[in-house]
Structure 1
Amino acid sequence: MTNIEKYNAAFVEVFGVAEEVLNERFSKETIEEWDSVHQLNIISILEDSFEVMFEPEEIMELTSYGKGIEILNRYGIDLKL
């Protein structure tokens, strides 16, 4: 499984959406279901999947599909779209 497949799988699992809807516009602002519980679930899955530990600031910052990619890139994890 590629990094982007693992990344997408986390969002599919947490939000119960089809992978096709995941894009730069998928965010806390556009997805009604995105609440603090969903956000913590995403964080947990991403930390486990990519063996990283996000800083508190990054947890607060991860409020969109695109932002998650940006944060993981800081850890040297390549997520090509």
Structure 2
Amino acid sequence: MNDKNIELLTNAFANALDIDKNQVNNELKYQGIPQWDSITHMFLINELESTFQIEIDADDVLEMNSFVRVKEVLEKYNLSFEKQN
């Protein structure tokens, strides 16, 4: 399930920010690329909510300022993104 979640998360980022999936990695940060600005951030939140069937709290939206941080915040919603051995 975790590999599936990573794939879903990567696709959500790529779709919302209109970037190639190869650009989605742990180095990706809010305003780190021109495509991730305040407007597309809201598209991203919408895409994440639709993809994972959750409603993200406004405080969490503000914390989601990098790919890594998004994964950490989404763990509050019982989603896991780390590979299990």
> TM bucket by the smaller chain?
0.7 to 0.9
Task: Determine if contact 2:31/2:37 at 8 Å carries over to the other structure.
Answer: no
Which letter maps to 2:41? Answer: Q
Tell me whether 49-58 or 25-34 shows the greater mean CA deviation: 25-34
Query: What is residue 5 of structure 1 aligned with on the other side?
Result: 7
Task: Determine if contact 2:13/2:44 at 8 Å carries over to the other structure.
Answer: yes
Q: Which runs of 5+ in 1 are unaligned?
A: none
Q: Which runs of 5+ in 2 are unaligned?
A: none
TM-score, reference length from structure 1: 0.86
Query: What is residue 15 of structure 1 aligned with on the other side?
Result: 17
Query: What is residue 65 of structure 2 aligned with on the other side?
Result: 63
Tell me whether 16-25 or 68-77 shows the greater mean CA deviation: 16-25
What are the Cα deviations for residues 15-56 of structure 1, in whole angstroms up to 9, with x where unaligned? Answer: 222222222210114212211111000100101111111111
In 2: Cα distance, 1:46 partner to 1:6 partner: 9
**Percent of counterpart pairs with the same letter?**
23
RMSD of aligned Cα (Å): 1.7
**One of 21, 34, 37 as aligned partner of 1:35:** 37
- Could you list the structure 1 runs, at least 4 aligned residues long, displaced by more than 3 angstroms after superposition: none
TM-score, reference length from structure 2: 0.83
DSSP-derived class of the 2:32 partner? coil
